[in-house]
Amino acid sequence: MIDVEDLIALVRNYNPRTNEDRIRRAYDYGRRMHDGQKRRSGEDYFTHPVAVAAILTEQRLDDATIITALLHDTIEDTKSTYSEIAAQFGEEIAELVDGVTKLTNLQLSSTETKQSENFRKLFMAMSKDMRVILVKLADRLHNMRTIKSLPPEKQARKARETMDIFAPLAGRMGMQWMREELEDLAFKVLNPEARSSIIRRFILLQKETGDVIHKITADIRLELEKEGIEADVFGRAKKPYSIWRKMQEKQLAFSRLSDIYGFRVICRTESDCYRILGAIHRRWRAVPGRFKDYISQPKSNGYRSIHTTVSGRDGKRVEVQIRTRQMHEVAEAGVAAHWSYRDGERAQNPFAVDPARWITTLTERFDNGDDHDEFLENVKLEMYSDQVFCFTPKGDVVQLPKGATPLDFAYAIHTRIGNSTVGAKVDGIRVPLWTRLKNGQSVEIITATGQRPQVTWIDIVVTGRAKSAIRRSLREEDRERFIKLGRELSRVAFEHHGRKVSDKALRTAAKTLGLADEHEVLARLGSAELTAREVVEAIYPELAASPTTEEVDARRPVVGLTADQSFRRANCCQPVPGERIVGITYRGQGVVVHAIDCEALAEFEEQPGRWVDLQWHSGRHAAAYNVSLNLTIANDAGVLGRICTLIGEQKANISDLTFVDRKPDFYRLIVEVDLRDAEHLHMVLTALEAENDVAQVARYRDLGRKP
């Protein structure tokens, strides 16, 4: 583990004015909070926050970000609190640590609808302070570097989440080096055979051709010397995952791949960039269609560079990137360049993009999304897209993803123009609406009053904005017809499972699915954007549940107790598996397990020696955990019986039932049910909420009950 003085030295290298005492105090506080905790590898847990901080020093980030890295798991995994961190290190640090904690708690690899809502929360956290996501990316990078200590199934889940979310996000933020490393580390887990095969072929290729990188680098340097241009030249082989992806996209064998080497030329001035481009094109033949000028048309994250591919030595294709030193700093750090320090001062890089403006451009297109699915589609298209720049007839630039069509162009200008499009001209020539646009083309959109979007347009456009606008227009046009059809489909689906559909049940489904109301559920159902099964399972998820084969020993369901410690659940909060828990020791009574948010824990804040760090065993628990539910139901014949039957249908046993209040029109009662875990509790609550005769249902917690 890097000790505190070495970490401070890393910061001092780029920021001599760093507040060493503050970093030292954060280091000591973090080490004390994590004392006794271990990683899966057996190392002290605190090695992880220190490694995350060290990764962030490579990007020359400010003291606040480094301190946040050291403390980023304290609120999540220790007895530390927001107020304690604020008192010791200030509100800025506390806000950043809390932001990282909230990101950590997002289950980003869950179902699509839930994932889209988490993406929305993720971007909200980013918009508040981008440094939160910088710490989270560094946290993920270190976890991926040390992933071998995790069980295989967890490695696969983390790797897939990294490949789908964190790697593209790093790339979208301009941190290409981090994207490539995250992708390659995930690739190593998800497809180790393919990665090993590519590495073996690389070794064989080097034996056959010698050190190609050294030779081509020398060739480029020689051409620059002839022109009298001072520049640094670097070459490298592309990462295994980058090569594998290219093989998949182009459906080529490794032997037929050409541009597997990349070269970077870093010079002093912008004019030198274009002189270098000329020298390279005079010496080697440029490959048509492989030239991009991101200096005259920068990416939204501040990236500037010239890209060209040429047929180099022995006819091998090589990609060359040309940029100035300042452009290179932004290319390496991306949006993080905004916080970079040099010699104790915030680096004034003219190419560093303002994070607030960047996040606004990223999220402004998502604000009009009608639902979570459209938001997620927009996010993914934005994060994975390559870019094409086209011009309006007036010369304004419109930025679009690769593969965009004139329809995408029209919707990028305004939804009204997109909806009324009847044709398009590209460079003055009439073209079909499905034509793929290329860099530098001029596009003119032809509109007509009364024109409406066609269903086939959804397959023509590629941008999330266009797809969202087209679907919204089609839904509005056919909404009444879809609602009527959706109502009939829902009736049949519910009756198939022996249940009756009602507006209240559909409102519960809408809440679970993240939709506005029952009418929206019916419209989606009628337009085939939702299936009847999805609606039913939103209320009764047990219909889709697949049993976990691994049963947890009911005698020892909690991890963190010593062999001689007994335990029992606290009556005040009744924690169940799946909820975060903590133990409080009682002399002669063992350990009492509380939910982490139990208000009763406040009385033990001054007794840290009695706290025990606990968690539930993973696996399938027996339905042996009683939970109290506060129910208000209609006072009518047969209602109580139906409620009891409904609870039984969720595989939950009623162990006790107490009437609290009896009125002419309603009963209020406390029902004790035996459950497996938090998911089982959610299933029961959702099923009860959907019942017409249930006016209110909530979990009942009573601080007056003894632990």
Give catalytic residues, as residue numbers: 76-77
| Residue 136 amino acid letter | K
Q: How far is CA 432 from CA 32, 399, 436, 481, 525, in A?
A: 66, 20, 9, 31, 33
Identify which of 113, 121, 116 has the alpha carbon closest to the alpha carbon of residue 529.
Answer: 113
Helix, strand, coil distribution of the chain in percent, nearest 5 = 50, 15, 30
Identify which of 93, 79, 98, 90 has the alpha carbon closest to the alpha carbon of residue 32.
Answer: 79
- Hey, what long-range contacts does 467-476 have (CB within 8 A, 24 or more apart)? 467/374, 467/377, 468/368, 468/369, 468/370, 468/374, 468/377, 468/378, 469/411, 469/415, 469/418, 469/419, 470/411, 470/418, 471/370, 471/374, 471/529, 472/370, 473/419, 474/527, 475/370, 475/523, 475/527
Q: Is 291 exposed, middle or buried (0-12, 13-18, 19+ CB in 10 A)?
A: middle
Q: Give CA–CA dist 66/417, Å, rounded.
A: 48
3-state secondary structure of 510: helix
Tokens 């009744």 sit on residue: 574
Tokens 């960047």 sit on residue: 358
Identify which of 221, 225, 254, 410 has the alpha carbon closest to the alpha carbon of residue 320.
Answer: 221
Pair 567, 590: CB distance under 8 Å: yes
| Residue 579 amino acid letter | E
Tokens 């530390």 sit on residue: 80
Token pair for 537: 């399972």
CA 268 to chain centre: 37
Tokens 């035996």 sit on residue: 674
- Per the DSSP assignment, residues forming a β-bridge with 398 are 390
Q: Give CA–CA dist 264/238, Å, rounded.
A: 12
Identify which of 353, 370, 372 has the alpha carbon closest to the alpha carbon of residue 362.
Answer: 353
For the packed helices 112-128 and 91-104, what is the interaxial angle rounded to 10 degrees?
170
Q: What is the DSSP letter of 439?
A: T
Pair 618, 561: CB distance under 8 Å: no
Tokens 């956290």 sit on residue: 125
For residue 47, which phi and psi values (nearest 5 degrees)? -60, -30
Q: How far is CA 241 from CA 188, 245, 518, 595, in A?
A: 9, 6, 45, 43
Q: Give CA–CA dist 247/261, Å, rounded.
A: 14
Can you say whether the dihedral through the CA atoms of 160, 162, 166, 167 is positive or negative? negative
Q: Is 682 exposed, middle or buried (0-12, 13-18, 19+ CB in 10 A)?
A: middle
Q: What is the DSSP letter of 165?
A: I
Residues 6+ apart with CB under 8 A from 305: 294, 295, 321, 322, 323, 327, 331
Can you say whether the dihedral through the CA atoms of 307, 185, 177, 303 is positive or negative? positive
